[in-house]
Every structure is written in C-alpha cells, then in structure tokens.
Structure 1
Amino acid sequence: MALDLFTPDDTAILLIDHQVGTMSWVRPTGDGEMKGNALALAKAARALDMPLVPTTSMEDRAQGPLLEESARIAPGEYANRTKRTGVVNAMDDPAFAAAVKGTGCRNLIVAGVTDDVCTVYPTLTAVDEGYRVQAVADAGGPMSKAGDDVALRRMERAGAGITSINMILTELAGSWTSRHGQALLPVVSELVPG
C-alpha cells in the first residue's frame, strides 16, 4: 500500500483561535510549547509558500487579539484573518469556510488553541465535506486531559489523522535535501530543545 502523504503543493494550514486570552485557558504543556508549535506552523506555511488561513473569535472580549507574533510571521494573513463573532465551529462561519475553499486545497492541516473546542468541530466538518485533514494535537492543548483525549479520539474515528508538529513538518519536508526540506530546516531547528 502506497503512502498518500501531505505535500506543500496540495495542502493548506488552518490556525484557529490562537489568541492572547484563549491561550491562557489551556493547561500548561511545557514552556510555551503549544504557542511555539502553532507559530511554527505559520512559519512553515510562509517558508513553503502554502496557504495559511487564520481565524479568531470575539477579539474584543476575553479571547483577546491574535498572537502578535503572527503579524510578524505572516502580515498579510494576519490582516486578512477571519474575525468570527462567536461562531464556535469555524467552518460554520461563511467567511472562514470561503477562505478555506478559496485555497483550492483538499488537504488541510488544522490546529486550534483547544483540541476539544477549536479544533474538533472544524475538523469534523471538513472531513464530512470531503477534505483530508490532519489535526496537530500539540499545536493546541487541553482545558482538561479527559476532554483532549475524547476530542482526539472523536476526530480520528471520523477519519482525520492525528499528528504532532514534528510529524507534520517532516512529512511536508519529505527529504532534508529537497527544496521543501531545506526551507523547513530553520523552522524545525527552532523546535529542538537546547
């Protein structure tokens, strides 16, 4: 059986609700690990010239603004992010769904700040709509471990792949000697503890 891996040429990255306020709702996953992983996805999108589709929810409330680092990494996408007005499932927001469709990609890498709210519903909807989806578990996090475990199982049962930042970046690289691999080396090296 041949592997059908995601490549930069047919994949978009969706970042959901990595906002100043919502980040504080997640149980600690190490020293900024979740934040660093989410930002690494944005950096990978820029390094590989992949579509990057960020969205936020209720920025004027407790959720707060999108992480300011996002503006430096991907200023155009930051400025054009979909600002939802309370819709929980980002794919239920017409502007976000249109932005995802507008990428022309059938493969989606999804990361939301909480796996059991921000990631699970858009992932389930995207799979139902025929997209191939990989949810990056460590670019989001749990409000509770039980909730996180249930969300990851639910997405997997629906047909989504569950992946980690290292797995998805190396999948996109394919080979460190390829142009994709060379472009991702600086992003991956920032993730190496040391």
Structure 2
Amino acid sequence: MSPPVYKRLDIDNSLFLFIDHQGGLMSVVRDYGVDEFRNNVLATVALAKFFKVPTILSTSFDSGPNGPIIPEIPEALPDAPLIRRPGEINAMDNPDFARLVKESGKKQVIISGVVTEACVAYAALSLAELGYEVFVVTDASGTLAEHTREAAHKRMVAQGVQLLDWFAVAGELQRDWRRDVEGFGNVMASHIAAYRYLIQVHEAGKAVGK
C-alpha cells in the first residue's frame, strides 16, 4: 500500500475564497468570540494580500438580513472581485462565481466563510467533486455552535477536504522564513499578540548586540 500523499499548499497554484463574511451573518457566530473571530478572518485576508494570491469575495442576499460584507475585507483586497449572489446559498451554484473559480486556473482552493456547515461546506464539497484540492480555514469560518462545526468538519473530511487554521495556511504558503523574514514576521505579529512580543524581544536583542 502506498503511503499517503502530502498535498501541501502551493503559492503559485492557490486561490482564496472568502464567502459570506457579512455583518448580519458574523453576528450569529458563536463557536468563536467576536474579537477572536474577526482577528482570524482578517489574518486570513492579510495572508491573501501578503502572498499576492488571487482572491474571490462573495456575499449571499446582502440586501437582506445577512447584510453587506464587512468593509475591512474589500478595503484590504481592492482588486478582488465581489460576487453578490442574489439568493444561492451554495456559491458554486452561482454561475459568475463558478466561472471566476474556473478561470483562475488554480487547482488549490482555500475557503473561509460563514456559516461553516452551509456556505463553507457546500462550496467545499462542490469544489472537491470537481477535482479541486480544497482547504478550509477552520478558525476563519464560523457558525452557531461547536457541535455543528464538528459535524461539518467530519462531512468535509470524508470527501477529502483538508482542514487548517490560518496559522497553518501561513506556514505552508511561506515554506521558508528566508523568503521574507520581516514581511512574514509582521503579518504574524499583527494578529498574534504573543508573536508581537517575540518580535519585539528579537529586535531589542539585535539592537543590544550591535
């Protein structure tokens, strides 16, 4: 029996999808605290920006109670197309969204969104069925309760979807600290307080050693 293949993220073959990070939907997330979840989402956005990975944004019924996309995302990623789905819950059921995914030419899709068992899982399962390598950013995807999140995770894993937190996505895309020590360190320090202190100690140590 052959050993399992390690399918790791490739910066040149990846596509980020941010699905339904909308004000109304963000307000129902209960499996993470409000501040923690916002930080995780914006950290994932920062990764897409830092690594210059193609990105697609999407909202669902944003003229209704789901509300508009939180402004920090398009502000950070002004070149990313925003597909405003008029009603489709599964983003892949929207022809414009599905077309952009296909036209990207990327085979690895990194998904985050709200809520995990619906908007995230439906798109992830559809993409897996089409032969994409699908990676879900678990801590930048939120839902109403931990038990519904765990059920969604099991459903996706059963279909070959990989689950990563944003820190794991960061490391796998970076591959090697020497690619950009300062830039990568700044991304991490901006979203992990303990890492910010680590960088400060490191910088202070370098200054003393001069």
Residue 19 of structure 1 is matched in structure 2 by: 22
Q: Per-residue displacement from partner, 1:19-72 (whole Å, max 9, x unpaired)? A: 111100111513522222222222211211110111001111111111111132
Segments of 5+ residues of structure 1 without an aligned counterpart are none
Alignment pair present for 1:68 and 2:71: yes
Q: How far, CA to CA, are the matches of 1:99 and 1:70 in structure 2?
A: 18
Q: How far, CA to CA, are the matches of 2:192 and 2:154 in structure 1?
A: 28
Counterpart of 2:39 (choices 36, 61, 78) is: 36
- Contact 2:17/2:57, CA 8 A, preserved across alignment: yes
- Contact 2:112/2:120, CA 8 A, preserved across alignment: yes
- Contact 2:59/2:82, CA 8 A, preserved across alignment: yes
Q: Partner of 2:65: helix, strand, or coil?
A: coil
Matches within 5 A, 1:30-109: 30-77=33-80, 80-109=81-110
Deviation at 1:112, TM superposition (A): 1.0
Alignment pair present for 1:193 and 2:193: yes
Deviation at 1:4, TM superposition (A): 3.1
- Contact 1:176/1:182, CA 8 A, preserved across alignment: no
Residue 166 of structure 2 is matched in structure 1 by: 165
Deviation at 1:15, TM superposition (A): 0.5
Q: Percent identity?
A: 30
Deviation at 1:172, TM superposition (A): 0.7
- Contact 2:89/2:118, CA 8 A, preserved across alignment: yes
Q: How far, CA to CA, are the matches of 2:34 and 2:149 in structure 1?
A: 19
Matches within 5 A, 1:142-157: 142-157=143-158
- Contact 1:48/1:183, CA 8 A, preserved across alignment: no
Segments of 5+ residues of structure 2 without an aligned counterpart are 195-210
TM normalised by structure 2 equals 0.85
Q: Per-residue displacement from partner, 1:66-113 (whole Å, max 9, x unpaired)? A: 111113201122xx3000011011111111111111211000101012
Residue 140 of structure 1 is matched in structure 2 by: 141
RMSD, aligned α-carbons: 1.6
Q: How far, CA to CA, are the matches of 1:43 and 1:144 in structure 2?
A: 26
User: Which amino acid letter does the alignment assign opposite residue 71 of structure 1?
Assistant: P
Q: How many residues align?
A: 191
- Contact 1:48/1:184, CA 8 A, preserved across alignment: no
User: Which amino acid letter does the alignment assign opposite residue 33 of structure 2?
Assistant: G
Is the alpha carbon distance of 1:14 and 1:182 closer, same or farther for their aligned partners in structure 2, counting shifts above 3 Å?
Answer: farther
